[in-house]
Amino acid sequence: MRDLYVTDLKRILKDKLFMVTCILAGVFALITPLLNKVLFEALDMGELLGGMINAKSMLFTSLLPGDNLGLIMPILIAIVVCKDFSQGTVRNKIISGKSRAAIFLSHLLSAATVICTLMLLHALLTLGVSLCFFSYQTTTFTLSDFGYLMVSLVFEMLVYFAIATIVTFIATLAKNMGICILLYLAVTLGLSIIGAVFQVAGAFLDPSAAGYGIVEFLNALNIFTSSLIGAGTTYTAKQVLYILVSPLAITVGGTLLGIRLFAHKNLK
């Protein structure tokens, strides 16, 4: 299993698309805070800078799965995973006597390693660039804020692990790059749109209205909006439960189902 993981990781790192992803990560981290500053100042909305628009909001926006790198990178990594099937190199693993489960897990772990690491580096770079233009938040940055930031980043990484599971699941079973991209876009954009609708509905619905609780619940479970992460200064036990349940369910369920389906799949 370790042999496969190392090999798959090398395969991803050697692919040109990985370089493209790294360049995009750098470009988005540099441009996004700068554009925000220029645009808000140009629109005479400079008073929002440092308030609503600050380094903290830039950091967590950069981690949104439906935006910029969060949307593009999983697709690029899915393509690289898919190449193992389209180029037929997965045969080398099967013929060498590796189990289908080990092959699936190796794809998943290598994709998760790359996605989580790059997203984290991208977010930290975005934070660093943002701090050149804005303060982290309106209040003084305390040790408690640091702890909240660290916990939030861990939660975000769990979300991206779940996304890596979706990526691997689709890439392994679709085995075709075109279908793989379409399926991932359908899942990401579909759930992002649903999340946005719920957020708007939540803003307009009276908290005492009958459907409010359901909207709030479904939105909290949607990893593609992950609206609970990084939005406050502390986490309640209920929020932690909401934040953890979806990524863990997707990761465990997707992995088990993926292994089961892949184990019975005929390969070219």
Partner 1 sequence: MEYVLRTEGLTKSYRGNRVLNGVTMNIRRGDIYGFVGENGSGKTTVIRLITGLIYADSGEFTLFDTKSSDPAILAARARVGAIVEAPSIYLNMSAKENLLMQSGILGLHGNEERCYLTLATVGLGDLWGSKKHAGDFSLGMRQRLGIAMALLGNPEFIILDEPMNGLDPAGIVEIRELILHLNRNMGITFLISSHILTELALVATRYGIISHGRLLQEISAEELERVCHHTTDIKTTDRDALIALLSSDFDHTKMFLIENGVHIESDIDLNDVLGRVIAAGIPITDVNTRRSSIEDYYLSMIGGGRRA
Contact footprint for partner 1 (CB under 8 A): 3-4, 6-7, 10-11, 14-16, 87-99, 264, 266-268
CB atoms within 10 A of CB 179: 14
Kindly tell me which of 14 and 238 has the beta carbon lying closer to partner 1: 14
Task: Classify the C-alpha dihedral 30-36-42-47 as positive or negative.
Answer: negative
Kindly tell me which of 30 and 98 has the beta carbon lying closer to partner 1: 98
Structure tokens at 200: 């708007």
Kindly tell me which of 6 and 252 has the beta carbon lying closer to partner 1: 6
Residue 49, strand partner residues: 53
How far is it, in rounded angstroms, from Cα 10 to Cα 29?
A: 25
Contact 21, 118 (CB under 8 A): yes
Minimum CB separation from partner 1 for residue 81, in Å?
Answer: 14
Minimum CB separation from partner 1 for residue 263, in Å?
Answer: 10
Kindly tell me which of 86 and 199 has the beta carbon lying closer to partner 1: 86
Minimum CB separation from partner 1 for residue 2, in Å?
Answer: 9
Angle value at C-alpha 113, between 108 and 116, nearest 5 degrees: 110
Minimum CB separation from partner 1 for residue 86, in Å?
Answer: 10
Minimum CB separation from partner 1 for residue 163, in Å?
Answer: 25
| Phi, psi torsion values for 45, nearest 5 degrees | -115, 30
CA distances from 74 to 7, 69, 92, 254, 261 (A): 19, 8, 25, 16, 21
**Running DSSP on this structure, what letter comes out for residue 46?**
G
Kindly tell me which of 103 and 180 has the beta carbon lying closer to partner 1: 103
Kindly tell me which of 7 and 176 has the beta carbon lying closer to partner 1: 7
Minimum CB separation from partner 1 for residue 254, in Å?
Answer: 23
**Running DSSP on this structure, what letter comes out for residue 205?**
S
Structure tokens at 246: 């979806």
Minimum CB separation from partner 1 for residue 198, in Å?
Answer: 42
Cβ neighbourhood burial of 186 (10 Å; 0-12, 13-18, 19+): exposed
Kindly tell me which of 16 and 139 has the beta carbon lying closer to partner 1: 16
Structure tokens at 132: 């050149």
